[in-house]
Structure 1
Amino acid sequence: MGPDPAVAAVRHAVRGALASLPPGAMVLAACSGGADSLALAGALAFEAPRSGRPAGAVTVDHGLQEGSGARADTVVRVLTGLGLDPVGSVAVTVGAEGGMENAARNARYAALDEVAQRFDAAAVLLGHTRDDQAETVLLGLARGSGTRSLSGMGSSFTRTCSTPERVATVLYQRPLLELGRATVRRACLAMGLEPWDDPHNDDPVYTRVRVRHEALPVLEKALGPGVAEALARTARMLRDDADALDELAEAAYADLTASEQAGPTRGGDGPRALVTLRLDGLGDLPRAVRTRVLRMAAIEAGSPPGTLAAVHVDAMDRLVTAWHGQRHVDLPGGLRTFRRYGRLLFGPA
């Protein structure tokens, strides 16, 4: 008799992720002790030896709840019992910048980056599911932040990390992104693993929790079942669109900035430009490509991506397509975009 269908589905997903990695390379699972990441760790412990790869796991203690250290120790014991090696926990200090959720995420990824580099891991596996994807899409929709935000989470991504010795990239994979949370939880229980249910996952102070327990159930009731699957499917299609548009924008940006990185503006009558775009050709681009080029230029000049909003991009776009002598656009990070001599320049305010 074969495994429970839910277990088979999770193992199949992990097997596919491992197949894309170099033979014999170390793989790590990030595990909080919740059902999703425990099922992921259990599947990795089963599949990695069969693919000839060493596999370990790490849990991050954010220190945000009483007894979090003891909980991390329990997770380590469970992961060790699965046969994963190396296994360990990392305690982090969560700051306050950008809100607790954002600060905790930043601290967690920094810790995972460090562990992955220490063990020269080919990839770190994350336990995000299709339901997490649906929640991410709804949150992006509420922010009104465009195609890239609505495309949700990718099945993989890389982070660049710097140490005194080297600059390295860490690959992260989300093998369970096409599986529903209920399936993954059933797999966890069928493996004989007892998950820990984080009380933060039910605390309505967090926007994602309200989306999970209030918004999505209302949509399911009003529109019928399958909303999470439809949102995840929409995210996948929008990601393809966003990737294609980004490629076009990168090519256009390279063409419009070629030989255009400027010193002082002509005649010394303006500030030094950090990034310069030729207006000739910029205005002819489709808006979806043009606004991406403008955003790229602003970020390259030093404007923080997290605070560069649609209102800034729209104002920059008007300097190109609806210019009536307006002088400049102020950008986050103390920067300014202005139009001079057939160029759009991005420099210090």
Structure 2
Amino acid sequence: MAALAPPVAAIRVAVRRALTGLPSGGPVLVACSGGADSLALAAATVFVAPRLGRAAALVSVDHGLQDGSAERAEAVATWGREVGFASATVVRVEVAGRPGGPEAAAREARYQALTEAARQQNAVAVLTGHTRDDQAETVLLALARGAGPRGLAGMPARRDLGGVPLLRPLLEIGREQTRAACAVLGLSPWQDPHNSDPSYARSRVRGDLLPALVRALGPGVVDNLARTARLLAADNAALDELAGTALAAARCPDGGLSVPALLGLVPAVRGRVLHSWARELGALPGALSHRHVAALDALVTDWHGQGPADLPGGVRVFRRDGRLASVRPA
């Protein structure tokens, strides 16, 4: 019997690790666009899941942004049914009219669709095909935005998606491996023209910046950027735990925060405490930025009688009698 091709084997091992330990019950749901990454993930999942006693389902999201998108999504679903997925469906979404740029709007629509599909099918997890290269690109984009440790930690291997685990099994798999796996398996991935459209920031990073870094610093730069994300994710988890304890200790009976307690915290922990508290107050997460947290911190560390700090969503925070208190919008 011929040996299993290394790229196929590596992706199957990654999927097996991701699926091990999930609760029994519904299927695992693979998001598949038909590109090399998600196609390789889907092929591995439909092989691995049944051998672990799990059902696997597939969903292809049609964003309706290109001619022929509906036909491509249907072709992916048809392929899914042919190779043995318990179900393979197409979900169409409306991207226009959503806040943010086109990339952000499409991403929001996609994850909303995946959340709804997971609930309808009682899925125990949703799997996406983000690779090590995607992670490296995310780190570079975060650097360009001046993001802090949370942004530089990139995409987590696991996060909550509307109450369902969202898993990214391929974050340690290179894009060249998914392409090689598709070639070995005789699969013909779709080449999304948006991936090479220079009007999108990620496309410029993918087509110009990251290749330039590889030429200048060597091929290990992609893995090093992804490793940076993993290391920072571990640091973030530790800091978040410390901040959770500190937030509980700083609370006042009326819901405000004690200024003396906040002053006793190191800046990295205090910033996370203030960020978490701001979100509790109703500050809009997508609009809450470093400058808002800095304004809150100034009420603690640079107090000279200034007025309240305004947070996105109409929340106002002021200092009075040694504590931070808030006024919420009506």
Is contact 2:158-2:168 (8 Å) kept? Answer: yes
Residue in 1 aligned with 2:182?
188
Q: Which runs of 5+ in 2 are unaligned?
A: none
Residue in 2 aligned with 1:294?
274
Q: Using the alignment, how far apart are the partners of 2:126 and 2:278 within structure 1?
A: 32
Quick one: which of 285, 305, 314 aligns to 2:294? Answer: 314
For 1:237-316, what aligned pairs fall within 5 Å after superposition?
237-261=231-255, 276-316=256-296
Aligned-pair distance for 1:49? 1.3
Aligned-pair distance for 1:348? 3.4
Q: Using the alignment, how far apart are the partners of 2:228 and 2:90 within structure 1?
A: 36
1:26 aligns with 2:20: no
Query: Which amino acid in 1 is paired with 2:104?
Result: N
Aligned-pair distance for 1:78? 1.3
Quick one: which of 118, 128, 134 aligns to 2:130? Answer: 128
Query: Which amino acid in 1 is paired with 2:289?
Result: A
Residue in 2 aligned with 1:264?
none
Quick one: which of 147, 150, 154 aligns to 1:148? Answer: 150
Residue in 2 aligned with 1:269?
none
Residue in 1 aligned with 2:82?
81
Q: Using the alignment, how far apart are the partners of 2:147 and 2:199 within structure 1?
A: 22
Residue in 1 aligned with 2:55?
54
Query: Which amino acid in 1 is paired with 2:159?
Result: F
SS at match of 2:316: strand
Is contact 1:260-1:278 (8 Å) kept? Answer: no
Residue in 2 aligned with 1:159?
161
Compared with structure 1, are the counterparts of its residues 185 and 135 closer, same or farther at alpha carbon in structure 2 (3 Å cutoff)? Answer: same
Q: Using the alignment, how far apart are the partners of 2:208 and 2:165 within structure 1?
A: 33
Identity %: 55
Residue in 1 aligned with 2:114?
112
Is contact 2:25-2:124 (8 Å) kept? Answer: no
Aligned-pair distance for 1:24? 5.4
**Farther off after superposition, 149-158 or 69-78:** 69-78
Q: Using the alignment, how far apart are the partners of 2:3 and 2:47 within structure 1?
A: 14
**Farther off after superposition, 211-220 or 251-260:** 251-260
Aligned-pair distance for 1:244? 0.7
Q: Using the alignment, how far apart are the partners of 1:25 and 1:94 within structure 2?
A: 29
Query: Which amino acid in 2 is paired with 1:279?
Result: V
Q: Using the alignment, how far apart are the partners of 1:192 and 1:225 within structure 2?
A: 27
Is contact 2:29-2:123 (8 Å) kept? Answer: yes
**Farther off after superposition, 27-36 or 213-222:** 213-222
Residue in 1 aligned with 2:17?
16
Q: Using the alignment, how far apart are the partners of 1:209 and 1:183 within structure 2?
A: 20
SS at match of 2:262: coil
Residue in 1 aligned with 2:171?
177
Q: Which runs of 5+ in 1 are unaligned?
A: 161-168, 262-275
Aligned-pair distance for 1:249? 0.8
Query: Which amino acid in 2 is paired with 1:87?
Result: A
Residue in 2 aligned with 1:219?
213
Is contact 2:26-2:121 (8 Å) kept? Answer: no
Is contact 2:61-2:90 (8 Å) kept? Answer: yes
Q: What is the root-mean-square deviation of aligned Cα atoms in Å? A: 1.2
Q: Using the alignment, how far apart are the partners of 2:310 and 2:24 within structure 1?
A: 50
Q: Using the alignment, how far apart are the partners of 1:247 and 1:347 within structure 2?
A: 27
TM-score, normalisation: structure 2:
0.96
Quick one: which of 203, 209, 230 aligns to 2:203? Answer: 209
